[in-house]
Chain A
Amino acid sequence: MVTCVNDAMFPETGKAVVALLRRLGVDVEFPAAQTCCAQPMVNTGYLDEAVPVVRTFVDAFAGFDAIVTPSGSCAGSARHQHGIVARRSGDAGLAVAVAETSPKVYELTEFLVDVLGVVDVGAYFPHRVTYHPTCHSLRMLGVGDRPSRLLAAVRGLRMVDLPSAEECCGFGGTFALKNADTSIAMGADKARHVRSTGAEVMVAGDNSCLMHVGGILSRQRSGVRVMHLAEILASTEDAPFGAVVGGAR
């Protein structure tokens, strides 16, 4: 599951996941029928609107061993919210299908560490990096230190701790628009903490959060770049990020 945000806005992240998983010997498929996990509808209160989207999801992913996604938030949505949507629909068939797909959904770092059993993915990224644990990967999924362990094994990477790392960046889906002032105030504090680390790159496992903080960092002309974790893990000495995925972002 590449996610709608990555599909439409951040295709390089999807390409990085494909490159990384293939390098690790995984047979990767992108079911073309996939669209979105329905989280934007569910979290804004539009449960009826979410029903056909969840139906599309379970149809697209039926039959796969594992559904891997570079987003803690979308994985959380599939694992914790699809059941709520199915119950709302009153469609027993949908509930059964959701019960089939939901447990097979993995956030990328869960899949790498728990299913593939790797921590060193052979990546090379010679830069100063700070990591922001996104709320849904941290608290809804409980990915714990998996991302940090994966990053620690990347050759050349210098990790700098982010102050108040576990505090929300303020994205929050439609919260970023409905309560834009509060969202920006939270994001500005996150950006301040990121800049205080002196890191070249802020990394996280959710591009929507990165789009928010990255948008603020860019407006501030901070020079700090935001990157999805998958892009760093995909990067190797022979094929540094960019070359791996075919061109600059």
Chain B
Amino acid sequence: MTGTFVGMPAFPVAARAALGDTQLRHNLAHATGVIRAKRAAVVGEVDNWEDLRLAGAAVKERALLDLATHLEELERTLVAGGAAVHWARDAAEANAIVVGIAQGHGVDEVVKVKSMVTQEIDLNGALAAAGIAAWETDLAELIVQLGGDLPSHILVPAIHRNRAEVREIFLREMAGAGRPAPADLTDEPAMLAAAARAQLREKFLRAKVGVSGANFAVSETGTLVVVESEGNGRMCLTLPEVLISVVGIEKVVPTWAELDPLLRLLPRSSTGERMNPYTSTWSGVTPGDGPQEVHVVLLDNGRTRALADQVGRQALRCIRCSACLNVCPVYERTGGHAYGSVYPGPIGAILNPLMQGTGDKQVDSLPYASSLCGACFEVCPVRIDIPEVLVHLRSKVVDAHRTDTVPSAEAVAMKGAAWAFSDARRLGRAERASGVAGRVMKRMFGVSLPGGRSASGKLPGPGGAWTSARDLPAPPAESFRAWWQRVGRLGRQGGGGS
């Protein structure tokens, strides 16, 4: 049921549509505001939060610096624990492995723990193509799935929906997924959750195969870790006979002890809780308890490409908390769909180009979908300097076009600016010309800023991008440079005291 983002337009185009949706703007502003405040409160009560961030970043950095060694150790410990380990280079290989295992057990359905990596590879689509229904059991993922929709947030995939919309989706779609919603369903959260619970409980008890991702994979002990809030994950991880976990290779954590800072950073950064309700860990197969057949699919899908980027590789430290989404002023206004990926927001704006490489118009637009305000870096629990990586990726996008036979207007403008800014005399001449333009504008528009300075109204052509909603001050008759030369350097500006 879940579709993919294939064919999405570049960010500015998708953003324009989202900005025009007032219900979406309202839902997002409310939801991100609530999570932001919760996070700020629980982070504020930790005395050594900065030390914890440094520790979390160091653990992930250590894992990434010697990734191959840790992955090989993980394979050994998993196999020793009774799990089967599969390696997948890309989405197609991973999907084929999971579909093959499910088909081997002759099932026509699987239950799923909320998992970003299976969204990334569109596993549900691959299973559906093989005639296997994949039931999302996380409440928000269920809302997205039933609505035939796409996730728009890493932690809260249905953040773009309000409860009235959720009620409508449940009334319309639940019957087709097995059990109709009660006819008297209201938009009370408790009642909506109860309808989902009735729907899901049957599937938990019936399903033979469970599918999950993992928040962490401890190589020392061969342990996978899933952190969640609803208990649906615990059901999927313990009830089915067969468990298949798809795990990005960057999820590896060298030792059990090193989970410590990460498990403290994650809930406070993501849901704004001191501790998440459910933390499930399993190390292969435990005879007579839980799934008796355990598979782990270790997935690359562009992660080694990201690892090869010396500036960008820090993005692989990401623990998918989504704190950066919740504080991002761009995300808050456009929502996640505008980013055209299951990884939206600031982290998506760097992860997608790092994992997929530059060269696609949509992907290339993502590093520019930021005002570089730095709020994301400030909240990131593993200190990913997202603005630094955004600027770095912008240079990669630009560099990829340096051999174009016809340069873009922007490239021409930047070369022109570099020429003028390389010599102050050239800049001075340009300023004198703009002073003349300023006097012309004054006559043409007759608009004044508060304080009396004249300004432009709406301009045609490229100037329209600025002036559609913003007045632009007219250039002054005299630049600072000219003033300094005339009187400023002589200390005669007058009235200043000295």
CB distance from A249 to the nearest CB of B (A): 4
The yes or no answer to B205 lying at the interface (CB within 8 A) is no
B371 touches A186 (CB 8 A): yes
One of A103-111, A112-120, A149-157, A212-220 contacting the partner:
A212-220
Chain B positions 222-264 with a Cβ under 8 Å from a chain A Cβ: none
- Chain A residue at minimal CB-CB distance from B333: A185
Say yes or no: A225-B466 contact (C-beta < 8 A), given A15-B483, A45-B398, A186-B330: no
Query: A178-B12, A225-B449 known; A136 and B374 CB under 8 Å?
Result: yes
Known pairs A11-B476, A179-B368, A224-B450; A139 contacts B377 (CB<8 A): yes
Q: What is the interface size of chain A, counting residues whose CB is below 8 A from a CB of the partner?
A: 94
Q: Give which listed residue, A7, A14, A248, contacts B452 with CB less than 8 A.
A: A248
**B288 interface residue (CB < 8 Å to A):** no
CB-CB under 8 A for A60 and B470, given A41-B418, A175-B370, A243-B495: no
The residue on A at minimum CB distance from B497 is: A23
A135 B475 Cβ-Cβ under 8 A: no
Residue A126 is within 8 A (CB to CB) of chain B in the complex: no
Q: Is B49 an interface residue (CB 8 A)?
A: no
Distance to closest chain B CB from A220 (angstroms): 9
**Contact status B371-A171, CB under 8 Å:** yes
B479 engages A7 (CB within 8 Å): yes
Instruction: Contact check, A181 vs B414: say whether CB atoms are below 8 A apart.
Output: no
B494-A43 in contact (CB<8A): no
Contact B475 A9 (CB under 8 A): yes
> Once the chains are docked, how many angstroms separate the CA of A226 from the CA of B473?
12
Question: Which residues of A sit under 8 angstroms from B415, Cβ to Cβ?
Answer: 49
Check B372 for interface membership: any CB of A closer than 8 A: yes
A176 to chain B, nearest CB (A): 7
Q: Are A215 and B451 in contact (CB under 8 A)?
A: no
- Judge whether B394 and A44 touch: CB under 8 Å: yes
Q: How many angstroms from the CA of A43 to the CA of B393 in the assembled complex? A: 10
Q: Interface digits, A222-249 against B, CB 8 Å rule (1 contact, 0 not)?
A: 1111110000001010110001111011
Cα distance A89–B368 when bound, in Å? 23
Answer yes or no: B158 CB below 8 A from chain A CBs.
no
A168 contacts B471, C-beta separation under 8 Å: no
Tell whether, in the assembled complex, residue A8 and residue B453 are in contact, meaning their CB atoms are under 8 Å apart.
no
**Chain B binder among A28-36, A61-69, A90-98:** A28-36
* Cβ A211 vs Cβ B473 within 8 A: yes
CB distance from B277 to the nearest CB of A (A): 31
Q: Which of B55-63, B69-77, B190-198, B484-492 binds A?
A: B484-492
Bound complex: CA of A246 vs CA of B492, how far in Å?
11
Whether A203 sits at the interface, judged by CB under 8 Å, is no
A20 to B471, CA, bound (A): 29
Contact A182/B334 with A7-B479, A11-B483, A49-B414 known, Cβ cut-off 8 Å: yes
A32–B481 CB distance below 8 A: yes
Asked if A42 lies at the interface with its beta carbon under 8 angstroms from chain B, I say yes
Query: Counting CB contacts under 8 A, is A205 at the interface?
Result: no
Q: Mark A42-62, 1 if CB is under 8 A from B, else 0.
A: 111111111011011000100
Residues in A1-19 with C-beta less than 8 Å from chain B = 2, 4, 6-12, 14-15, 18-19
A187's partner among B417, B427, B470 (CB-CB below 8 A) is B470
Q: How far is the CB of A61 from chain B (nearest CB, A)?
A: 12
CB closest residue in chain A, given B457: A219
Type the 1/0 row for B447-479, where 1 means its CB is closer than 8 Å to any CB of A.
Answer: 101111101000000100111111111011011
CB distance from B282 to the nearest CB of A (A): 40
A218 to B466, CA, bound (A): 13
**Do A216 and B483 have beta carbons less than 8 Å apart?**
no
Once the chains bind, are A218 and B423 in contact (CB under 8 Å)?
no
Q: A15 — which chain B residues lie within 8 A by C-beta?
A: 480, 483, 488, 493
Residues of A within 8 A of B485 (CB): 32
Question: Knowing that A178-B12, A182-B334, A239-B496 are A-B contacts, what are 14 other residue pairs whose CB atoms are under 8 Å apart, sorted by A's residue number?
Answer: A15-B488, A22-B497, A32-B481, A45-B395, A45-B399, A168-B373, A170-B371, A175-B370, A179-B368, A215-B473, A218-B450, A223-B450, A224-B450, A249-B451
Q: Which residues of A does B touch, CB under 8 Å?
A: 2, 4, 6-12, 14-15, 18-20, 22-23, 25, 30, 32-36, 38, 40-50, 52-53, 55-56, 60, 81, 88, 122, 135-136, 138-140, 166-168, 170-188, 211-212, 214-219, 222-227, 234, 236, 238-239, 243-246, 248-249
A-B contact pairs, 10 of them (CB 8 A): A11-B479, A36-B427, A40-B417, A44-B414, A45-B391, A49-B417, A135-B373, A179-B368, A215-B455, A249-B451
Taking beta carbons and an 8 Å cutoff, which residues of B are in contact with A? Answer: 11-12, 15-16, 19, 329-330, 333-334, 367-375, 377-378, 391, 393-399, 402, 410-411, 414-415, 417-418, 420-424, 427, 430-431, 434, 447, 449-453, 455, 462, 465-473, 475-476, 478-481, 483-485, 488-489, 491, 493-498
9 A-B pairs with the lowest CB-CB distances in the bound complex, closest first? A172-B371, A215-B470, A45-B394, A168-B373, A45-B398, A239-B495, A19-B496, A139-B374, A11-B480
